[in-house]
Amino acid sequence: MPYRLFIVLAFICAPAIIRAGNLFEVSQGVIRFYSDAPRELIKASSDQMQGVLDVKKKTFAFKVAIVSFMGFNSPLQQEHFNENYMETPRYPQASYAGRIIEDIDFSQDGEYNVRAKGKLKIHGMEQERIVNVHAIVRNKHINIECDFIVPLADHNIKVPRLVYDKLATEINVSVSAILIPVN
């Protein structure tokens, strides 16, 4: 489901969802990535992740603005990331939306390993992904952590031959977030 449609539906259905206590939103979240190429290690992160999780329907939608990633080796490297590789003016966000595969009772405190299946959209290209997620439920908060790999070719991100040995063809991504009930 496209993210915009999900948000529209969330606002339309929000009163019923909120009364039922099923909707959680990201209160804190960090997305990190690193590229470990033969001649250069590139790391960046963003704490601007937004998202919602409906625990009853087992659906989720998360997004991040590409320009919010910081921590590159230099300002020039960040500029190249946004302008040349990610084409941020044309593709300003990355998103992941889908469903949780397992049946989990998020009202019960505990630790759970679940699989999230959805569409990962980066650089305008959607790819279906199943991501293993570790979730800790405590005091009506849900902490999630996951790691996954994003092949640049899957999202039509081109690497010029000139910098081919400075940028990995597969990018390692990690996500940590705390989700709280929507009041």
Per-residue pLDDT of the chain in tens (183 residues, 90 and over written 9): 454 544 444 554 444 444 457 999 999 999 999 999 888 899 999 999 999 999 999 999 999 999 999 999 999 999 989 998 999 999 999 999 999 999 999 989 999 999 999 999 999 999 999 999 999 999 999 999 999 999 999 999 988 777 778 889 999 999 999 999 997
pTM, to two decimals: 0.85
The helix/strand count (H/E) of the chain reads as 2, 9
Q: Which domain holds residue 67?
A: 3-181
Structurally, the chain folds into a number of domains equal to 1
Instruction: Calculate the alpha carbon distances from 146 to 7, 36, 39, 113, 121 in Å.
Output: 23, 19, 27, 10, 17
Q: For the domain that residue 69 is a member of, what is the CATH number?
A: 2.40.128.110
pLDDT digits (tens, 9 = 90+) for 129-180: 999 999 999 999 999 999 999 999 999 998 877 777 888 999 999 999 999 9
